[in-house]
Amino acid sequence: MLRTESTLKVTSKNIIMNEYDYGLDLPFYLSGDILKTDKIIFSIKKSIYQEVDIITKEYTGDDFKEEEKKLIFNLSFTKEESAKLPAGKYIYIIQQCRGCELHNTIVADGVFEVRKGRKPCTLK
């Protein structure tokens, strides 16, 4: 789904999106000691002290694309996932698992900001 008022971008380690946005891909390029068989776990929390993630997404194998010795995964939210993120500031964590063990924490406390947006239109 393409909506022209949507904003989803990364500045440094900060991710910014508008409230209610969904269906847009945000690519992450990974290089270094990463294998296509590794699992990448992307999670969002209100703070580092929150035990339960608001959203957790896992990527492995066919979820990755390869380009110039880098693995790429696309972050995208469904309408239901987006509804779990009202306007506010969160943190996101990206972890790399190899086998059944944590291999690396790629981003430990990136800022994930959801800006106030317009409620989606409903068609009748």
pLDDT in tens, 87-124: 999 999 999 999 999 998 888 888 999 999 777 666 55
Rounded distance between C-alpha atoms, residue 81 and residue 22, angstroms = 8
Count the helices and strands in the chain (H runs, E runs): 1, 9
CATH architecture of 8-113: Sandwich (2.60)
41-71 per-position pLDDT tens digit: 999 999 989 999 999 999 999 999 999 888 9
Phi, psi at residue 79, to the nearest 5°? -60, -40
**CA separation, residue 43 to residues 2, 59, 69, 87, 99 (Å):** 24, 11, 25, 17, 19
Residue ranges covered by each domain of the chain: 8-113
Contact 80, 20 (CB under 8 A): no
